[in-house]
A and B are shown apart, each in its own frame.
Chain A
Amino acid sequence: MTNFGRILMVEDDPKDVELSLTALEEYNLANEVVVTRDGEEALDYLYCRGKFSDRPDGNPAVLLLDLKLPKVNGLEVLQQIKSDAKLMMIPVVVLTSSHEEKDMVASYKLGVNAYVVKPVDFHEFVNAVRELGVFWAIINEPPPGSLKKH
């Protein structure tokens, strides 16, 4: 796992991580992904502290955020990002199993850039992750200060 990533994935389920990386492999995006396993680790990465204290400066081009996370949950991470002037421009995509309207509403209220429900079907899931990766890491022009492509 590299410390030099343009896609920050916050996901506690290793199986989902593996499926996601499989999906991104096709476009050679897998090695651009930094995976953090809970909200605290994600914030450590963003603030270059803890085990990420020596990572290169710069924000990821996109953050794929699960909502149900150990320690600091997804909504708390989102709130922290959107209330910090240095981080608020990072596009955040919530990628979750939750269909619940209250999660959706809470995310949008906090200023999420997209809300994607993980499809149950494997193909749909792979497609969704792949399209997200392609759109945010390749097509979309990231805000200034984001990590450049290799």
Chain B
Amino acid sequence: MQWKPQLPRPLSTIQSYGLAALSVSVALGGALLLERFEFRDVEVPLFLFAVAVSAWYGGTGAAVLALVLSCIAFDYFFVQPLYSFYVSGSDLPYFIVFATFALLVTWFSAVRRRVERDLRQARDELKIEVAERTQQASLLNLTHDTIFVRDMTNVITYWNRGAQELYGWTPEQAIGKRSPELLHTVSPAPIEQIREELLRSGRWDGELERSKADGSQVVVASRWSLRRDEQGQPTAILETNNDITERKRREQEARVLNEELAKRTAELEAINRELEAFAYTISHDLRAPLRHIAGFTELLQKNSASLLNEKSQRYVTMILESANRMGNLIDDLLAFSRIGRAETHKTPVSLDQLVQEALSEVRQETDGRIIVWKVGELPAWYGDRSMLRLALVNLISNAVKFTRTRALAEIEIGCREQDQNQVVVFIRDNGVGFDMKYINKLFGVFQRLHGPEVFEGTGIGLATVQRIVHRHGGRAWAEGLVDKGATFYFSLSKSQGV
């Protein structure tokens, strides 16, 4: 709607008084001119007209000035005696009537001006508000958020572009419809309860399920604000929506995954408990019969030695050896299972120092042998001291063991590569080596590549090394050639590991 108001702008003070003087002068001039042509008694209407013009365009001040000037001019030029300011008593009512009439005109004019001013002010305010509203509405259209307004009977009165994008209805389709029916709203609580909260606190937020124009379902995070009029009566509800369908779907997925994870964890824990019970059984129940085998065999040996022939004596010895070997196997297996279960206590450790400690432990086995040791420099690292020490002892004693057939054994310990997060330690020997096709068996529990009559051992050493290395976030591997020596590597990572 275009409304061009034609109200004149008010004049300045000087202009309005000038106008008063001018209009009175013109009226006076006109009256004198007409008098010259013998038109009598036209001066009063002319002066009244001048006052009215002054009041109309110049305001009350101008009107009063015009009135005063008119009275003076009238008295001077038209009242006997002419050309004097003398006022006779008989003329006084005449003046009073004129003045009253002029004041009346002025008053009407003033009222009109006040009305005009109010009107102008109202118009200006209206203009500003219209501009603001227009701007707000277009701003609301700019946002991606869904915003719509409905009145207290849920009839939609405003529907922004975000609402159109989310729900698929244009403003023309949506405005005038009732939102619960249009959107098939499913609320988390009874609608009366929500409304009650809205009326009490002025706002509500929650998650709603709704239908789009294409029939698909959508979950929205909805915020409602109540608009009240000046009397405090609720008039409208402004609702903003955010589409959280995708988020809800992900949450649901995450929940399912978490449940699955919890189930798996529980399963693993159960398995772990079973393993612990198993280890306990081994430690307790397998030891006793073993002791009995060994014990009674020895008693047999002691009490009946004279009754046994050489062959039987050998059998008895073999029974004892086997019992001892089984005892060692059980001990190693238990130690191995403990490494898997024990917590790692990681501290800064000097690998150099650990190697020295391992060497001094292993050297007890090297009496009477010629071994050339080449020990390179190793960095300080971070890990479980006793575990890493055990790994080094196992690898070094392996190297010692498998070079036993060499007249001159060479064993090298060093560090191959290193960066911030990873170090690779190797132990190289010139021993009997191994065939690379058995590499997969090398680190397995109780896996052995040599008969016990050639090289003793339970086959748990490398499995233990691997488990320790895994618990330090690294891996263990080896390279070897039959009769050409072997190199064992393990990497340690600084930050990872269990």
Contact = CB atoms under 8 A, between A and B. Distances in A.
Interface of A: 13, 15-16, 19, 22, 68, 96-100, 118-123, 125-126
Given A13-B288, A16-B291, A118-B288, 7 more contacts: A15-B292, A15-B295, A16-B292, A19-B296, A118-B287, A120-B291, A126-B295
B288 A97 contact: yes
How many chain B residues sit at the interface, stated as a range, is 10 to 19
A22 B299 contact: yes
Interface stretch (B124-132, B278-286, B386-394, B433-441): B278-286
A98 B295 CA distance: 18
Given A99-B334, A121-B327, A123-B298, A19 B283 contact: no
Contacts of A126: 295
B294 interface: yes
Nearest to B299: A22
B319 to A, nearest CB: 11
A118 B295 CA distance: 12
Contacts, number: 52
A122 B285 contact: no
Nearest to A19: B295
B290 interface: yes
B291 to A, nearest CB: 5
Contacts of B296: 15, 19
A120 B280 CA distance: 15
Interface string B294-332: 111111000000000000000000000000100100100
A68 B298 contact: no
Nearest to B331: A120
A13 B292 CA distance: 10
Contact of A99 (B283, B295, B297): B283
Given A97-B283, A97-B285, A118-B287, A19 B292 contact: yes
Contact of A98 (B280, B294, B298): B280
Interface of B: 280, 283-285, 287-288, 290-292, 294-299, 324, 327, 330, 334
B292 A96 contact: no
A96 B291 contact: no
Of the candidates A119, A120, A123, A125, the one having the most CB atoms from chain B within 10 angstroms of its own CB is: A120
A66 to B, nearest CB: 10
A90 B322 CA distance: 40
A96 B284 contact: yes
Nearest to A124: B291
A99 B283 CA distance: 7
Given A16-B292, A22-B299, A122-B298, A97 B327 contact: no
A123 B291 CA distance: 10
Contacts of A99: 283, 334
Q: Nearest 5 pairs between A and B by C-beta?
A: A122-B295, A120-B327, A97-B287, A122-B294, A15-B292
A120 to B, nearest CB: 4
B226 to A, nearest CB: 64
25 contacts: A15-B292, A15-B295, A15-B296, A16-B291, A16-B292, A19-B295, A19-B296, A22-B299, A96-B284, A97-B284, A97-B288, A98-B280, A98-B283, A99-B283, A99-B334, A100-B280, A100-B283, A118-B288, A120-B287, A120-B291, A121-B324, A122-B291, A122-B294, A122-B297, A125-B291
A96 B285 CA distance: 10
Nearest to B285: A97
B291 A98 contact: no
Contacts of B288: 13, 15-16, 97, 118
A143 B319 CA distance: 44
A31 to B, nearest CB: 19
Contacts of A121: 291, 294, 324, 327
Contact of A125 (B280, B283, B295, B297): B295
Contacts of A122: 291, 294-295, 297-298
Contact of B284 (A15, A68, A125): A68
Nearest to A119: B291
Contacts of B287: 97, 118, 120
Interface centre among A13, A22, A97 (most CB of B within 10 A): A97
B266 to A, nearest CB: 22
A17 B194 CA distance: 79
User: Which of B283, B285, B290 has most chain A Cβ within 10 Å?
Assistant: B283
B187 to A, nearest CB: 55
Contacts of B297: 122
Contacts of A97: 283-285, 287-288
A75 to B, nearest CB: 13
A107 B284 CA distance: 16
Nearest to A120: B327
Contacts of B327: 120-121
B292 A120 contact: no
Nearest to A67: B284
Contacts of A119: 291
B35 to A, nearest CB: 135
Contacts of A100: 280, 283-284
A41 to B, nearest CB: 19
A98 B291 CA distance: 13
A15 B297 CA distance: 12
A101 to B, nearest CB: 9
Contact of B294 (A16, A22, A120): A120
Contacts of A19: 291-292, 295-296
A123 B324 CA distance: 12
Nearest to B334: A99
A121 to B, nearest CB: 7
A67 to B, nearest CB: 8
